[in-house]
Chains A and B, each alone.
Chain A
Amino acid sequence: MDSIAQLFTDPATYRLLTIVILSIFLGIEVISRVPSVLHTPLMSGANAIHGVVIIGAIIVMGQAPSDDYLALTLGFLAVILGTLNVVGGFVVTDRMLEMFDKKKKKK
């Protein structure tokens, strides 16, 4: 019970909680009506955005003690995987959407 009350009394936690709730509504609002043609590119774009997890990987990597090889290795792997998610995600989305550009020029 204490920990639940803490969600509202601790200013830092409360702030994060507010961000979470508002972001949920924002996410729903932003994606209200999407033509089905765009479902896949949108999914792919969202996929790239959650690659923001790379920031956590960078922090983990940057804070790893230089003699802790397990942390260094796993952190390094995390940075590579996170970057793959971000870079690959945005590039593949761009390639999908490139097709739409071409289509419009023909119009």
Chain B
Amino acid sequence: MGNIVLPLSYLIGSVTFIIGLKMLSHPDSARRGNLVAAFGMTIAILATIFLFRDHEGNALGNYLWIFGGLIIGSIVGTLAAKKVQMTAMPEMVSLFNGMGGACAMLISVVEYHHNPSPATGTLIVIVLGMIIGTVSFAGSIIAWGKLNGKIKDKTIPAGQAINFLLFAGIVALAVAVIGGFSTAPALFYGILALAALYGILFVMPIGGADMPVVISLLNSFTGVAAAFGGFLYDNPVMLTGGILVGSAGTILTILMCKAMNRSLKNVLIGSFGGGAKAAASGGGDKQQGSYKEISMNDTAVLMAYASKVMIIPGYGLAVAQAQHACHELEKILEDKGVEVNYGIHPVAGRMPGHMNVLLAEADVPYEKLKEMEDANDEMGQTNVVLILGANDVVNPAAKDDPASPIYGMPILEVEKAEHVIVNKRSMKPGYAGIENELFFKPKTSMLFGDAKKVLQDLVSELKQV
């Protein structure tokens, strides 16, 4: 009986992954899709634990260890995922992705440790799985560090040449190990070390704002690493699950790049390091003009007597956890007869859809969230635009400065509105590390401070107007 149930369980697993991914790509069914895939995963895992037999028909042992690991992992994973702040979710995903990569790496290491000279085919699978898993692990940890600000953007001199050399080194060592030229374990662990270094240096120079794209790419890497595990154990569910994520992840990565109107190559190689320098030298003279500040009181009056206000949220809103205060402001303005809408840039915040999720949490009605095109259409009739901690997505350089690294990215054209009020904590440039000319325009007024505090003050001012 057992020998039928196991393949059947794997088949169910594979099918639920496909259906799950399909459902995840539609807003109405997304949440159920996630549960469907989780259900299939549970079945596949349980079936493996109890029904797996090796070639000699032996069942698995070490149940205490297996369940110990599963229980610890489940408790820690659930707590981490439940506790994490809305704003920190992308880095959490990156961290979990790294765990998957590390898992694939460890599997290869243990298999190699069991048998350092297996059949060539098996050895290829072990080595490749280890390389990709390690790159994904190391890269994800760097991406995680970048997103939570622990690791700063760094351009490494001759970084591309070093990366190329590392890559060549990995290939050479892999050929030596697989070809059987040397059976020294040091070689195998040498590959591991190089792969880890490669993962770190690969992500290091990429700007923090591009991290979601990188995470998505590393996500598909881990998928491929999992698929190598499927080859190793002749396991169909690992193979389908891994490859599906590998290919779907690649497509998703490309889609994300498209949303920013950039190519994947541009994100990975033409990272902001080189581009920002060009912008600084090209546009240095016209920037650093003078900006003007606006008082809380003036802002309140300006907004209260506007007929149409557009709020443009960005990462600053997310950091300050100001979504509820923002909804407060919207309500009090609506009570005064002002029409309030939100202009949502597709890549505002640290991940696509970040702002929608945040504002939905604060119960902002769905209809008020305007997508970029609609928001730009309405901009001309808008009296006041209030920018809350957004920067690069409203930077006019994306439209008129070909030297700018974000040139070509569609932006919210706030300059079409009558007044622009920018709330920021300081004049520091945004995540892409480039100056924003918008702040120096005559139409623009700056309102410095933490988004949450500013919004609360604004609400109390408005009550007195």
Contacts and interface: CB of A to CB of B under 8 A. Distances in A.
Interface of A: 3, 6, 12-13, 16, 19-20, 23-28, 30-64, 66, 70-72, 74-104, 106-107
B346 interface: yes
A52 B232 CA distance: 14
Interface stretch (B202-210, B361-369, B422-430): B361-369
Task: Report whether over half of chain A's contact residues are helix, strand or loop; otherwise say mixed.
Answer: helix
Nearest to B19: A30
B22 A53 contact: no
Contact of A53 (B61, B66, B226, B243): B226
A51 B100 contact: yes
B259 A39 contact: yes
Contacts of A80: 69, 72-73, 76
B24 A59 contact: no
A55 B223 contact: no
A28 B100 contact: no
Given A19-B243, A39-B252, A86 B77 contact: yes
B25 interface: yes
A48 B104 CA distance: 14
A74 B237 contact: no
Interface stretch (B168-176, B264-272, B295-303, B352-360): B352-360
A89 B34 CA distance: 10
Given A19-B240, A81-B102, A90 B34 contact: yes
Contact of A88 (B65, B78, B226, B242): B78
B57 interface: no
A46 B292 CA distance: 46
Contacts of B231: 16
Contacts of B235: 55-56, 59
B100 A53 contact: yes
A38 to B, nearest CB: 6
B375 interface: no
A42 B353 CA distance: 11
B32 to A, nearest CB: 9
B104 to A, nearest CB: 5
Interface string B174-212: 000000000000000000000000000000000000001
* Residue among A26, A28, A56, A101 with most chain B CB within 10 A: A56
Contacts of B227: 20
Contacts of A82: 73, 99-100, 103
Given A53-B103, A56-B235, A74-B109, A27 B255 contact: no
Interface of B: 13, 17-18, 20-22, 24-28, 30-31, 33-35, 37-38, 41, 44-45, 48-49, 52, 54, 59-63, 65-66, 68-70, 72-74, 76-78, 80-82, 84, 89-90, 92-93, 95-97, 99-100, 102-104, 106-107, 109-111, 113-114, 120-121, 212, 215-216, 219-220, 222-223, 225-227, 229-252, 255-256, 259, 346-347, 351-354, 356-357, 360-361, 363, 365-366
A58 B103 contact: no
A34 B255 contact: yes
23 contacts: A12-B234, A24-B246, A30-B248, A31-B255, A34-B255, A37-B27, A39-B256, A40-B90, A45-B30, A48-B96, A52-B226, A53-B107, A55-B229, A58-B66, A61-B62, A61-B66, A71-B110, A79-B69, A82-B99, A83-B74, A88-B96, A94-B31, A103-B360
Nearest to B223: A50
Contacts of A23: 239-240, 243-244, 247
B110 A51 contact: no
B225 A31 contact: no
B78 A31 contact: no
Contact of B73 (A26, A60, A79, A95): A79
Contact of B18 (A26, A34, A107): A26
Nearest to B106: A78
B37 A49 contact: yes
A46 B215 CA distance: 11
A80 B20 CA distance: 24
Given A28-B248, A36-B353, A72-B65, 15 more contacts: A13-B121, A27-B243, A32-B251, A37-B27, A37-B352, A41-B34, A43-B93, A43-B212, A47-B222, A53-B238, A59-B52, A62-B52, A75-B62, A84-B99, A92-B93
